[in-house]
Every structure is written in structure tokens, then in C-alpha cells.
Amino acid sequence: MQKHESKTDLKIDEDVLKKTTRCKKDFSCLSGERSLCKVELCVDEKIHFIKCVSGDSCSYRIPFGYSFVCTCPVRKELHNRYGI
């Protein structure tokens, strides 16, 4: 089960937030009411293979073979910094 933390518990660098220009979900990943794609494999904290939990389209999700790669700066920071 994924840990749910409120916005006040998470510290995301301002530069990372500024790089996240295509977010269609208004940064819902930073709220306690989020459902994030699960990171199944992370390579060098740069390449994040994910399993999508919803059918919603995401502008940061890229198909890669039978899987997907997440390129969202905020999602990557959440995983790299907090293990979320």
C-alpha cells in the first residue's frame, strides 16, 4: 500500500515544479487524494518504469515495449526522494 502524505509533508524543489509544465491533473500527486502510477523499476534515479493505476492519459507517460516510462519531473522526485 502506498503512503499518502499531505502537501505540507512533501518538499519538492521549486525548479522541479517549474519543469513540470504539462501536468493536466493540477499536481494532484502532491495532495492526500492521489492515485499515482506505481514505479516498478527505477534505473539510476533517472528512468522510471511504471504500472499505470488509472486509464487516464498522462502527457508524461511514454510507451516502452510492454511497459511505460514516466518522464514527469514531480513524479520522479516523489519516488527518488520519498520512495512514493
1 found inside a domain: no
Residue range 40-64: average pLDDT?
89
**How many CB atoms within 10 Å of residue 32?**
11
Residue range 5-14: average pLDDT?
70
Q: Are 31 and 6 in contact (CB under 8 A)?
A: yes
Instruction: Output the CA torsion 84→47→64→38 (10° steps).
Output: -10
> Above 60 in pLDDT, residue 54?
yes
76 found inside a domain: yes
More confident residue, 32 or 65: 65
Residue with cell 514527469: 72
Domain of residue 77: give its range. 7-82
67 found inside a domain: yes
2 found inside a domain: no
Residue range 16-34: average pLDDT?
86
Total number of domains in the chain:
1
